Amino acid sequence: MTIEELEQIVESVRAENAKFDYEVNVCMDLACASQGSEKLRDALVKAAEASGKKVMVRRTGCMGPCSAGPLVRVDPEEILYSHVNADHAGAIVSSLGGEPVPSLQCDLNEHFDKQVRVVLENAGHIDPEKIDDYISCDGYKALMLALMEMTPNGVIHRITESGLRGRGGGGYPTGLKWSTVAKAGGNLKYVVCNGDEGDPGAFMDRSVMEGDPHRVIEGMAIAAYAVGASKGFIYVRAEYPVAVARLTTALREARRRGLLGSNIGGTTFGFDVEIRLGAGAFVCGEETALLASIEGRRGTPKPRPPYPAVSGLWGKPTLINNVETYANIAPIVRNGGKWFANMGSERSKGTKVFALTGKIANTGLIEVPLGIKLWEIIDVIGGGVPGGHKLKAVQTGGPSGGCIPAEMLGLGVSYDALMAAGSIMGSGGMIVMDDTSCMVNVARFFVEFCMTESCGKCIPCRAGTAQMYTLLSRFCDGTGTMDDLELLEDLCLTVKEASLCGLGQTAPNPVLSTLKYFRNEYIEHIVNKRCPAGVCNIQAPVEVLA
Amino acid sequence: MSDPVEVKTLIIDEQEVSALRGQTILDVARENDINIPTLCHMEGLGDIGACRLCLVEIKGSNKLLPACVATVFEGMEVSTNTERLRKHRRTILELLFAERNHICSVCVANGHCEFQALGQELGLTHIRLPYRNPELTVDASLERFTVDHNRCILCMRCVRVCAEIEGAHIWDVMGRGINSIVITDLHDEWGHSACTRCGKCVQVCPTGALFDKSKVGSDHPKYPDFLPFLNLMREAQ
């Protein structure tokens, strides 16, 4: 495969597409598929054949606003239809070339206008199982560019210049991580992609892997070239069977095209990727636990240092990044570091994908430039809280994150601002809560999650989260005391400071942040035995007869 | 790599000490009679940094580091006994005491228990946390030894000594989080496992979780000191 051959593929795809007058794109991502987009596509194909019009029906990855699904977009007019089912296929096909179907058309301009799509640029536009579709959207151009025209150090320099920070949650500068692995000695190094997305309410990485798998593979290949690795692993949780299937297809196609394997692009660079499945442990998203799991051992974290960059898989230097981080690499290499650094805020560059869920009108996947105000995400992109309810808080960062109260909607979303507010960016889950949510109960939910997902290796996390859960349950059932609250705060501090890995160190965050902003709700539960949101089932105290 | 025999100087609790490159803070501290409490650490076994009792403060960093695995660097200033650390250590011990059924007065290891001794050393007078009182089993299927999960603190010494020293690896961990438990083979009875009956796990167990049946009702001191000696003899061969 050379740049010329890539261009030939682009030409042939264009020639093929030019045979059609209309493109009907059907979102086949999980949310739409669960509402029958598979049947819809078949109906559209049938209707198109019957109509005699030159229509290409294409299945695509997630288009974004899942709550409006199943979604269909007609190109080149870019008309978006929502809540489409198989019965609408005839109407859509017969409208082609004329006026759009008014009853299905949806107005999500505000939803899309504030978004900037880098990671999701192809999502909803290409068939994830066709490598040629990806290539026709500048796919693998960045890899070829890197191999033909750039030195490994040049690639790292470009990534450093872009200011990209790890999208898995920690926000570690990606360029710095790459240069550390590049400098590590030895001729055997590994590149690992962390696709063990496990936060409740988060599905960014799944959508990327399902909707645009080649983007991840290309990012990994560029990373391998930059750090001098020859072997890669994608660690995907087994709960994502579609992602696994799409990645498997993508890897096979990439090998067939000579974009993986030995002598890629006619150079001496060789790289291949293997998929490893996670068996359902949240803690395996922690890098040292993930590496242990790839090696076939029990997925428990190890104290760092040594960092994986020095001693990772089988003791070899290992670069480990998140799915979304790799998905950013190809556009950065193609467009330059400065292009990326121009987006975002002072210390958080670029864009970030968020999974917007909870009590909000437009749930789904969004991509916004960092630094965007929280209210813009909630009120403009998300369409506000439905049902006449009042926004109470936004939970970011999953079980490691915290709750940001409605009063702080002016906050610019960036790594540092969220940290300062007592939450974290995390991998990008954003759960919107209205006045029907009890914050004590929310804290208990996340602590319960951490308790059941703790690996059990270190004491503060294993026993600490269990005790935190017991104390929070007391508040929820009305038996808690002010002494319990003091004890809980004390415990949170030890779990936070003394736990071995990130899971334990951040497990108290939902408690600490709700205590910071919604302390009165705790007091209400303890002193007045009352749940202001009416969620907790507090029984009236039984009168003891004398 | 540069010369491996490079000597470092550092300060532990305001005392200037010297160390070799690659030595852990715990090693250096103990060489200099500075006591750092430990539970999962055992001389002769690989360290896992799990019990978090040996956490120390390093000047210039807000992060606490486990002394058993953190290595020294030139000019580092370590504090091993600050109020912050003592508080965390007491809470950790409290968490352990409340986790399972640790009743010293009826325990076979009473008076010879590292866990009990640590509680006394750190001035643990009472437990603020609710006791969890889990229902756990006792496996007495092996003729000589018994495992009482009620006394287990999951320090993994048995797992490590069996895998690393005896080479049998019959001990391992099952389950997650608060439901973790040590098992023999694939959760078979100990008596029906591939156990070699060497008894190393009993000697290294810091509590009364693993004990010799013949010692029930009498004193049950344990002798883990064989380990470094055994390692030394093996290295000499």
**Model confidence over A37-90: pLDDT tens digits?**
999 999 999 999 998 889 999 999 999 999 998 999 998 888 899 999 999 999
**Torsion angle of alpha carbons A432, A434, A440, A444, nearest 10°?**
-40
Divide the 546 residues of chain A into consecutive groups of 10 and give the mean pLDDT of each group: 89 92 92 92 93 91 90 89 92 88 85 91 92 94 95 96 92 95 93 93 93 96 97 96 96 95 94 95 94 95 93 96 96 96 92 94 94 94 93 92 93 92 90 95 96 96 97 95 96 96 94 96 95 87 64
In this prediction, residues B128-142 reach a mean pLDDT of: 96
Domain range list for chain A: 16-110, 138-341, 351-434, 439-527
Which A-chain residues 254-293 have CB contacts (< 8 A) with chain B? Answer: 281
Residues of A in contact with B91 (CB under 8 A): 460, 490-491, 494, 498
pLDDT digit string, tens, across residues A17-51: 999 999 999 999 888 999 999 999 999 999 999 98
ipTM (interface predicted TM): 0.94
Residue by residue, DSSP assigns A218-287 as HHHHHHHHHHT--EEEEEEETT-HHHHHHHHHHHHHHHHTTSSBSSGGGSS--BEEEEEEE-S-GGGGSH
In the predicted model, is pLDDT for residue B111 greater than 60?
yes
Distance from CA of A482 to the nearest CA of B (A): 13
Which A-chain residues 287-306 have CB contacts (< 8 A) with chain B? Answer: 298, 302-303, 305
Long-range contact pairs involving A519-526 (C-beta distance under 8 Å, separation at least 24): A521/A438, A521/A439, A521/A440, A522/A440, A522/A475, A522/A485, A525/A440, A525/A475, A525/A476, A525/A478, A525/A480, A526/A475, A526/A480, A526/A481, A526/A482, A526/A484, A526/A485
Half-sphere exposure of residue A33, counting CA atoms within 13 Å on the CB side?
A: 11
Percentage of residues in chain A having pLDDT higher than 70: 99
Which A-chain residues 482-501 have CB contacts (< 8 A) with chain B? Answer: 487, 490-491, 494, 497-500
Instruction: Please provide the CATH number assigned to the domain covering B10-81.
Output: 3.10.20.740
All CATH 3.30.70.20 domain ranges of chain B, comma separated, are 87-224
Residues of A in contact with B100 (CB under 8 A): none
Distance from CA of B228 to the nearest CA of A (A): 23
Answer yes or no: pTM beyond 0.90: yes
Tell me if A450 sits within 8 A of A199, measured CB to CB: no
All CATH 3.10.20.740 domain ranges of chain B, comma separated, are 10-81
The CA-CA-CA angle for residues A458, A460, A464, to 5°, reads 130
Smallest Cβ–Cβ distance between A453 and the set B66, B177, B180 belongs to B177
Backbone angles phi, psi at B16, to 5 degrees: -80, 130
- How many other C-beta atoms are found inside a 10 Å radius of the C-beta of residue A408? 15
Answer yes or no: do B173 and A456 touch at CB < 8 A: yes
Q: How many residues does chain B have?
A: 237
- The SS3 call for residue A456 is coil
**Residue whose C-alpha is closest to residue B6's, from B94, B70, B72, B57:** B72
Mutate to test the interface with A, among B71, B91, B100 (most CBs of A within 10 A): B91
A31: enclosing H helix or E strand: helix A30-33
In this prediction, residues B142-152 reach a mean pLDDT of: 96
Judged by phi (left if over 0) then psi (alpha if -120 to 50, else beta), residue A143 lies in alpha
A252 has a chain B CB within 8 A of its CB: no
Instruction: Please provide the CATH number assigned to the domain covering A439-527.
Output: 1.20.1440.230
Backbone angles phi, psi at A8, to 5 degrees: -60, -40
Smallest Cβ–Cβ distance between A456 and the set B51, B129, B176 belongs to B176
Answer yes or no: do B129 and A459 touch at CB < 8 A: no
CATH number 3.10.20.600 given to A351-434: yes
Pairing of strands A429-434, A351-358: parallel
Answer yes or no: do A456 and B49 touch at CB < 8 A: no
- The SS3 call for residue A132 is helix
Instruction: Please provide the CATH number assigned to the domain covering A138-341.
Output: 3.40.50.11540
A346 has a chain B CB within 8 A of its CB: no
Residues of A in contact with B101 (CB under 8 A): none
Question: pLDDT class for B217, splitting at 50, 70, 90?
Answer: confident
Quickly list H helices, A270-371.
Answer: 287-294, 323-335, 337-341
Strand runs labelled E in A313-427? 318-322, 351-358, 364-369, 391-396, 402-405
Smallest Cβ–Cβ distance between A463 and the set B48, B96, B128 belongs to B96
Cβ-in-10-Å burial (0-12, 13-18, 19+) of A101 comes to middle
Answer yes or no: do B177 and A462 touch at CB < 8 A: yes
Q: What CATH number matches the domain at B87-224, 3.90.950.20, 3.30.70.20, 3.10.450.50, 3.40.50.1860?
A: 3.30.70.20
- For residue A30, give the amino acid letter: L
Answer yes or no: do B177 and A454 touch at CB < 8 A: yes
Cβ-in-10-Å burial (0-12, 13-18, 19+) of A541 comes to exposed
Pairing of strands B64-66, B171-174: unpaired
Q: What is the pLDDT of residue A499?
A: 96
Q: What CATH number matches the domain at A16-110, 3.40.309.10, 2.30.30.170, 3.40.50.720, 3.40.30.10?
A: 3.40.30.10
Q: Distance between alpha carbon A63 and the CA centroid of its chain, in Å?
A: 14
